[in-house]
Amino acid sequence: MRPEEKISVQQAWQAGKCQVVVATIAFGMGIDKPDVRFVVHMDLPKSLEGYYQETGRAGRDGKRSGCYLYFGYQDLSVLKRFINDSEGTVEVKQRQRSMLFRMVNFCTNEGECRRVQLLSYFGESFKRADCSYTCDTCNSDATFETRDVTSMAKAAVTITKTIAQSKATMIQCVDILHGSKCAKYPDAQEIEGFGAAKDLPRGEVEHLFHGLLVDDVLDEYHVVNGAGFATQYIQVNKTSLQVGHADVSSLVRNTENT
């Protein structure tokens, strides 16, 4: 937008003539409007520090306001690529990845009060009862059970390592771990680890792989074809701990059948 258009939009919004503004983070951080009723994140923030500050734009008049964050694992892949391609030092990149993974863990933790999670990160104590069912986790009737998926995680890494040289996608690895047919690998049943997670719903098998990506055990990389389209492939992270020493667990949502 041209500078004069930006000024016109901002003035209209400050005056209440415009109800919704779509803007960059830089614009949003400059907002000092007291009656912002909601903040919507359409992309994953890079850190909990940033998320905390950005959501703090809402409800400065003390009235109830809402914060909504839309999250998908593809966001993680994009931000990791930005970090890896940046010119920062190894230490800086590692710190940025650590902050990003904390943000992802916040998004995927569906069992703990959001305010408890957020404030504990900053060293503050908050009682879940004081949330008064105002966050999505406290307002949910979902129940959880802890399930040890270490053996399945090891099988996932073994499968990925076995077929990575032929440029394997995460979906293909999920198929093999789940014991499903895979068009690219017609003899998949002969791969070590095939069907190791056959008793899990497919969605949970995908969740397991995403967890290994978040924990940096696995890594994604992109290959651009001649037409300019990029395909994501998966591989074992060479800098991660040996899988034999991995201790991976997953929170799995209860269903009527479990």
Residue ranges of domains in the chain? 3-69, 73-145, 146-250
Please list, in sequence order, all residues whose beta carbon lies within 8 angstroms of the beta carbon of residue 58, skipping any fewer than 6 positions away: 36, 37, 38, 39, 65, 66, 67
**Residue-level pLDDT at 240:** 57
10 pLDDT exceeds 60? yes
**Residue-level pLDDT at 244:** 42
Note the pTM of the prediction, 2 decimals. Answer: 0.75
When pLDDT is cut at 50, 70 and 90, the band that residue 178 belongs to is very high
User: Which residue would you say has higher pLDDT here, 180 or 250?
Assistant: 180
CB 110 within 8 A of CB 140: yes
Q: Which residues pair with 39 in a beta bridge?
A: 67
Answer yes or no: same fold for 73-145 and 146-250: yes
Reply yes or no on domain 73-145 having CATH 2.40.50.140.
no
CB 33 within 8 A of CB 8: no
User: Which residue would you say has higher pLDDT here, 196 or 254?
Assistant: 196
Average pLDDT of the residues in 85-90:
87
CATH of domain 146-250: 1.10.10.10
pLDDT, one tens digit per residue, over 117-166 is 999 999 999 999 999 999 999 999 988 888 889 999 999 999 999 998 89
Reply yes or no on domain 3-69 having CATH 1.20.120.350.
no
When pLDDT is cut at 50, 70 and 90, the band that residue 248 belongs to is very low
Instruction: Give the pair of three-digit tokens for residue 197.
Output: 């997670």
pLDDT, one tens digit per residue, over 68-81 is 999 988 888 888 88
